[in-house]
Structure 1
């Protein structure tokens, strides 16, 4: 009887995956075969495959994205995948940290940058500010530029979409000091600082309900995969439910186009209130409402997420849900400094409360419904 030990099946699967990567058949960012496919190929149980994949994930060779599968991590020329080294930074002179935002305009973005600068005061870190134009392609290019410039850490307000770009995923999984603002990707652990979008939307909808409104629309840009927008829709839906108002999918529109909003308002003559997912959509909605003969707030109350400079002096000062941009920036900056000192600490998510600011664009409905009639 031979004394040679048989290689465990899970180790055989692991070795196969490594061989494919080293041979260049599966490259950086490539999706691996599914667990079911590997089970059939090796004629083994799913537990065996999962054990092999768990080991590869622990080694940083493979990373997982919930609902999408397993992927090959970054590799050096020699073929062995590597992870971010994660050594505490040595503070010798100024250190660059990159801040990526979609655009440098609007109250939220300016306050955000001010907050980050405030958090970095007294540290050796200096901001390298970059704009992405809300484009994932440009965002990935800027991330690479920041790394090439020697950035010790990155704060990024991701562009809209159902996924982070691949560079962001790799940096986060490789334990590079990176903090994400505004939204997170389900199934991918990241250090994230964001507003409490759900609570803010709930409070906005509740404000309208307490005024007596029952027929309330929700207007947003396409929200699927953008967690900040998904949470705002859920806050709106839950507030309706808690006040005994049935959620009507026909009162939700995913468009910021003036023509579509105008048609929507004309097709919904019984609406008495509208909650918009952001400032731009809210202002368009107010303009289109008046173009359709609905004066704000006499015929249609309007409330939206985000405030803007000098809004209190507008012809119709808007009721809005204000995000605390400076506080978000402060918390993101502090978190980044902590990660630069210790990149291997547990990832964390921090939610910053919003503030409801009641102004002149919301009022009781025109048909005499009172708050007491609802609850």
Structure 2
């Protein structure tokens, strides 16, 4: 026993002695610990040694002092309940004040606040390198979990694999990479795309184009798959000349196709793209929906106030945030991370930008 005491610093002996009393339930929450004199006599240490040990335990929150009365054992259960628990939402997007982002944040905050968590928001202006650096720093902190809306999930595979190996609670929102089984939540992009194109077909359209925004994203590919299957379901062929991407979109060619009758309707992968296309075509003399029906996806707040109110597929962004936070806390209680994928339903919203072909 004597050899054991000499193997550690003397102040550590005092510290370990107090911790063993707590562990053996000789001292319970708010119980007064022995006096400095008691430790000196029992352990054969100096008053300076005792004070150093007590100061360290105070810093760690294990004991607390009351002036004129002594030192007492902290209530660890109460301490755990009052400790601020942090969740970080990493949002890599184009516009911090986009209403859809604000709705997601509102949903996350709504769920977390009910369970004693605080939300930290880290916004990055669509920069995958900054996104990587930020997340690598965050996983070194005491953050309890991460919600990530990545600008490029495929490019994020490196840090996502690191998170997976460290078993840090994480949920991906809206988009995710292939080949890394991580919890994620998104709207049902396939069904939404299928329903949007089926609506155009029901109106009598057969020459329906697809306009992508960032086609490397799985969410856009799933909407495109819904588009293809809706055409197949109506025995219509997919025409590769009617596939347009934001980076290669030639409005002169688009107008020519519309005027020749080769294109009567357009499914845009999101409202941002749909509103941009609509604005440019109207400037070039195309009437919406008389010359071209346009339907989007997302139902941004601005879509219903467009020059021609936009038909679209509504995502429930607040619900997305709420369910993402819920899934994250569920994930944090599991001993092993599950690649759970949650899909939320969408709704078709019909406004003035779609009509039967002229």
**Does the TM-score normalized on the shorter chain lie above 0.5?**
yes
Unpaired segments ≥5 residues, structure 1: 1-89, 367-375
Which of the numbers 225, 231, 236 marks the counterpart of 1:245? 236
- When the two structures are aligned, how many residues end up with a matched partner? 275
Q: Report what 1:101 is aligned to.
A: 91
- The aligned residue for residue 189 of structure 1 is 181
Displacement of 1:96 in angstroms is 1.1
Greater percentage in helix: 2
CA contact (8 A) 1:107 1:309 kept: yes
Q: How does 1:56-75 map to 2 (within 5 A)?
A: none
Residue 194 of structure 2 aligns to a residue whose secondary structure is: helix
Q: Deviation of residue 118 (structure 1)?
A: 1.0
Normalising by structure 2, what TM-score? Answer: 0.73
Residue from 95, 99, 102 that aligns with 1:110? 102
Per-residue CA shift, 1:138-184, capped at 9, x if unaligned?
Answer: 11122133234421100001113634241122102432100001112
Counterpart in the other structure of 1:46: none
Normalising by structure 1, report the TM-score: 0.69
Instruction: Please state whether the residue corresponding to 2:250 is helix, strand or coil.
Output: helix
Indicate whether 1:287 and 2:279 are aligned: yes
1:339 matched to 2:331? The reply is yes
Which whole-Å CA distance do the structure 2 matches of 1:136 and 1:142 have between them?
10
Shift of 1:107: 2.6
Distance 1:274-1:238 versus aligned 2 partners, 3 A rule:
same
In 2, the alpha carbon distance for the partners of 1:273 and 1:285 equals 12
Secondary structure of 1:187 counterpart = coil
Instruction: Pick from 194, 201, 206 the counterpart of residue 209 of structure 1.
Output: 201
SS at match of 1:334: helix
Choose the corresponding residue for 1:229, options 203, 220, 230: 220
Instruction: Quote the Cα distance in structure 2 between the aligned partners of 1:331 and 1:231.
Output: 21
Say whether 1:220 aligns with 2:173.
no
1:5-55 deviation digits (Å, cap 9, x = unpaired): xxxxxxxxxxxxxxxxxxxxxxxxxxxxxxxxxxxxxxxxxxxxxxxxxxx
Asked whether the 8 Å contact 1:177–1:343 carries over to 2, the reply is: no
Post-superposition offset of 1:251: 0.4
What SS is found at the alignment partner of 2:301? coil
| CA 1:361–1:256: 2 relative to 1, 3 Å | farther
- Indicate the RMSD between aligned Cα atoms, in angstroms: 1.8
**1:214-259 CA-partner distances (Å, limit 9, x unpaired):** 11110012413x21011011000000000111011110011157x6
Does structure 1 retain, via aligned residues, the 8 Å contact 2:174–2:219? yes
Task: Give the whole-Å Cα distance in 2 for the aligned partners of 1:324 and 1:301.
Answer: 24
Name the structure 2 match of 1:263: 253
**Structure 2: runs of 5+ lacking an equivalent:** 1-79
* Residue in 1 that maps onto 2:308: 316
Cα displacement string for residues 182-232 of structure 1 (whole angstroms, at most 9, x for unaligned residues): 1122221010000100000000000000000011110012413x2101101
Larger radius of gyration: 2
Separation in 2, partners of 1:361, 1:335: 36
Deviations 1:92-130, CA, capped at 9 Å, x for gaps: 511111101124222321111111011112222111101
